[in-house]
Structures are given as C-alpha cells and as structure tokens.
Amino acid sequence: MSRRIAAIAPSATLAVDAQAKAMKAAGEDVIGFGAGEPDFATPDHIVEAAVAACRDPLNHRYTPAGGLPELRAAIATKTRRDSGYEVGSDQVLVTNGGKHAVYNAFAALLDPGDEVLLPAPYWTTYPEPIRLAGGVPVPLLTDETTGFRVTVDQLEAARTPDTKAMVFVSPSNPTGAVYPRDEIEAIGRWAAEAGIWVVTDEIYEHLTYDHHEFHSMPVLVPELADRCLVLNGVAKTYAMTGWRVGWMVGPTDVVKAAANLQSHQTSNVANVSQRATLAAVSGGLEDVARMREAFERRGQRMHDMLNAIPGVTAMRPEGAFYAFPSFRAVLERGEVAGTPVRTTVELAEVILEQAKVAIVPGEAFAAPGYARLSFALGDDDLGEGIGRIDELLSR
Ligand code: PMP
C-alpha cells in the first residue's frame, strides 16, 4: 500500500453508524446517534422524477462529467434564490455527494506544503482530503466559551506565508454552531485582504433554529468571490443522503479544472440521481420547512435531556442537527458502571456495549471530552436513547 493511502483514517462517523447497523442486523436493540442522516423519506415528487428518469434511455448513457447542463443551471438559480449568491451555470460542478465536492475542492486548490486553516471541532472528513492533496491541516481550537466559533484574531495568529485556504462551516457539523452575520463578514474580509481562499460548506443552510440565521460568506463579502468555493448538496435539505449528489460553486477556472479531474475519476454522477436532484432544487422548500420544524423540536428536547444528566453539559443547537455535549465531568470520575473510562472513545464504547446506544466520540472531530449526537432520528428513539445514556451514567 502507498504511504499516502495507508495513512488515511476511516471515517469515524460512518464507522460508528456501520457498527450500530451491524449490531441491529444481528438482532440487538441498538439506537444510533452516529450518522448525520434525516430519518424522513425523500419527498415523493423527487422520487417520481427519478422513476421517470429510469425509463428514459437518454439517462442510460454517459453525460458530461461536470453535470447535466440543466442541473448546473438549476443549481445556479437555486443558489441565487436561497443565499443570494449570483453565479452562472459554468461556475457549478455536480459531484457524487458533498463529500466528493470537499475532496475535489482541495485537490483543485492545494500544492504540497500548502496550509489550510481548519477551525476545530471540525467534521471528520476535512483533514484527509487536505492531506491527500499534499496540504497541511492547521486546526484552530474553539470551545463552548466562544460558542465554538473561531475569531479573526485566531486566524491571523495562525497565518503563515504558506497559508493557502481556510475552511468555514456554518451551521456547523459537529458543534451545531451558527456564526452571526457580523462575524462571517469579518472573517470573509480578513480572508479577502490576506488573499486566502475560503472553502465554505453550506450543506446545512436551511437548518437553523431560534433567531439564528444562515448567511453565505461571498454574499456578505463580494470581493471574496474570486477566491471562494461554496460546497453544498441535497443530502440534508431533501433527505437524500443515499442518492449521492452534491456540488461545488466557484470561479470558472477552478470549476473547469475540478471537472477535468472528475472526467478521469468518476465521469458523470448517476443520471437518475441528477434528475432527482433537478426536481429537488427546482421545487419548493415546503418539505425542508417541515423537517426543520421537527429537527428544532428534537434538538431542543435532546438538549434538555442531555443537560439533565449529571456531568453532561451541552450548548443549545443553533443549526444543523447535532448536539455536541461535553462529558468531561463524567470522565473525571474515571469509571462508568464499574468500567474504567478515561477518554470519550472509551466512554462511547461503554455506552454502545452496555446501553446499546451509538454516539461519535469527540476525538473524531479533534475534540476529546465531547461527543456528537445526531438528532435527525425519530422522536421515540431519541427519547429512549438519551434515557439509556442517563440511566447508565447515573448508576
Ligand atoms: N458537509 C458537511 C458539513 C456534512 O456534515 C456532510 C454530511 N455528513 C457533508 C458535507 C456531505 O454530505 P454528502 O456527501 O452525503 O452529500
């Protein structure tokens, strides 16, 4: 095996989810808070578009590697509608899920030794594609005392002549943090002035709670547009995790280069999935509004239940669908139900073994002492799962 590939860590979130699903398949009564996956079915009109697409022989053939022209145009229109970012269809690349857009963004931008500022806790998938492209992830630690938000001072302190890009995610996976407008603007200005690329992941744009609002950085800071890649996809907004469609929006030369890469790597994204996505992004936002309401209610409930467990403290989720509680006071006890527990990795193991509940330890997000729990699952499982953790930790 090459050193490059041998060094890749498996996706911790998918690993936790796979383990929970395997235990379930073996007949165990496991509740999974691992994967960030809505429990809703994909809306009917999207599924119907896919069924019709299956029957059209045009979709049985290769199509352009960068995406169906009508889908690229529809994504440009949707981007204008939802975030106010004015882009043309030649600025859109359709990818095999948001994850593929992350990979190709860094592959397109980075040369060996380029540093990428990565606010932490970060989604587990960012560092690996940075490293695979020869880049160096530079984590910038944040915690609940700043609402898990990075500051311009932190970014400036970490900047070196090798800094090529920064990652910006709001609403955030794994912390659920949402940056206020003035902070997004300040960070965007700083990046534009410093000549640093911003890779901004907007996949949770429609999922914000209370008074928190989503804002797109290149809309607030238009001078950033020449050095900004916006990543997005249908997985979270339309409950379409399994369809595997995402996209990248950016300057035409970078999009063209990433499309060239894709032409050797995957060719076109499955046409049936692209047709389903066309129906999704061209349709209304009623379904996501309904799901958002359910997530807000569940997030609130999860927050209240977690905070009622001795030794657990959680920030109220502001967006996305994750709670990110601290278990540090639990770890200080050194044991759970008679089993020694010193880290959140060990804690997650004990919770899975004894309470049959899967959570993702914070180590996966460069945040030991915390864990991520998705609240994109049904109400009954949510209540039962947190109840089991409470019962185990209160023993
Ligand atoms: N970005 C973020 C921040 C995510 O949380 C996810 C899903 N976990 C993705 C991108 C990618 O989603 P997908 O590949 O399923 O489109």
| Shared-domain flag, residues 325 and 271 | no
Q: Are residues 75 and 167 in the same domain?
A: yes
Query: Distance between CA 123 and CA 11 in Å, rounded?
Result: 10
Do 38 and 53 fall into the same domain? no
233 CB near ligand 1 (under 6 Å) = yes
Range of the domain at 238: 44-282
Q: How many CA atoms lie within 13 A of 279 on its CB side?
A: 21
Q: What is the DSSP letter of 144?
A: G
- Confirm or reject: Cβ of 273 under 6 Å from ligand 1: no
- Sequence-separated (6 or more) residues with CB below 8 Å from residue 17: 32, 34, 35, 37, 358
DSSP 16-68: HHHHHHHHHHTT---EE--S---SSPPPHHHHHHHHHHHH-GGGGS---TT--
Whole-number Å distance, alpha carbon 339 to ligand 1 midpoint, is 34
* pLDDT tens, residue by residue, 333-391: 999 999 999 999 999 999 999 999 999 999 999 999 999 999 999 999 999 999 999 99
Of 311, 306, 241, 295, nearest to 98 by C-alpha is 241
317 and 211 within one domain? no
With beta carbons less than 8 A apart as the criterion, state whether 243 and 42 touch: yes
The average confidence (pLDDT) of the chain is: 96
From ligand 1's centre to the CA of 75, what distance in Å? 17
294, 248: one domain: no
> Which numbered atom of ligand 1 lies nearest the CA of 100?
14
Q: Are 372 and 322 in contact (CB under 8 A)?
A: yes
For residue 18, the one-letter residue type is A
Q: Both 267 and 386 in a single domain?
A: no
- Ligand 1 atom closest to the Cα of residue 204 is 3
Host H or E run for residue 295: helix 286-307
H-helix or E-strand containing 294? helix 286-307
Tell me what the mean pLDDT of segment 78-101 comes to. 98
Q: Is the CB of 176 under 6 A from ligand 1?
A: no
pLDDT tens string 280-334: 999 999 999 999 999 999 999 999 999 999 999 999 999 999 999 999 999 999 9
Q: Alpha-carbon distance 176 to 299, whole Å?
A: 10
Does the Cβ of 203 fall within 6 Å of ligand 1?
A: yes
CB atoms near residue 246 (< 10 Å): 26
Ligand 1 atom 9 nearest Cα? 98
SS3 (DSSP) at 161? coil
Amino acid symbol at 252: T
Nearest protein Cα to ligand 1, atom 10: 98
Distance CA 75, CA 247 (A): 8
Whether residue 64 is found in the same domain as residue 207: yes
- Ligand 1 centroid to residue 264 C-alpha, Å: 23
18 — pLDDT class (breaks 50, 70, 90): confident
CB atoms within 10 A of CB 48: 12
The last residue of a domain, from among 282, 299, 321: 282
Give the per-residue pLDDT at 21: 86
> Based on the domain organization, do 210 and 333 belong to the same domain?
no
222 and 209 in a common domain: yes
Tell me: do 270 and 166 sit in the same domain: yes
Band the pLDDT of 48: cuts 50, 70, 90: very high
Question: Ligand 1 pocket, 97 CB below 6 A?
Answer: yes
Q: What are the CA-CA distances from residue 374 to residues 75, 86, 180 (Å)?
A: 27, 32, 23
Looking up tokens 């066309």 gives 278
**Number of domains into which the chain is organized:** 2
Give the global pTM: 0.96
Q: For residue 12, is pLDDT > 80?
A: no
Atom of ligand 1 nearest to the CA of 99: 14
Instruction: Give yes or no: residues 27 and 116 share one domain.
Output: no
User: Using one digit for the tens of pLDDT, what is the confidence trace for 180-194?
Assistant: 999 999 999 999 999
Q: Would you say the CB of residue 235 lies under 6 angstroms from ligand 1?
A: yes
Q: Report whether residue 169 contacts ligand 1, using a CB cutoff of 6 Å.
A: yes
Contact 125, 99 (CB under 8 A): yes
Ligand 1 nearest atom to the CA of residue 241, by list position: 15
Is 98 in the same domain as 182?
A: yes
Judging by DSSP bridges, how do beta strands 115-120 and 339-340 pair with one another?
unpaired
- Residue 253 maps to which CATH number? 3.40.640.10
Q: Whose CA is nearest to atom 3 of ligand 1?
A: 173
Q: In which residue are the tokens 């970078």 written?
A: 254
Domain termination residue (choose one: 282, 307, 330) = 282
Rounded average pLDDT over 268-289: 97
Residue 169 tokens, joined: 């995610």
Closest-lying ligand 1 atom to the alpha carbon of residue 35: 8
Whether the Cβ atoms of residue 86 and residue 80 lie closer than 8 Å to each other: yes
Indicate which residue's Cα is closest to atom 7 of ligand 1: 36
Question: CA-based angle 30:351:327, to the nearest 5?
Answer: 135
Q: Helix, strand or coil for residue 3?
A: helix
In short, whether 96's Cβ falls inside 6 Å of ligand 1 is no
* Mutational pocket test of ligand 1: of 96, 102, 123, 247, the residue with most ligand atoms within 8 Å of the beta carbon: 123
CATH of the domain at 353: 3.90.1150.10
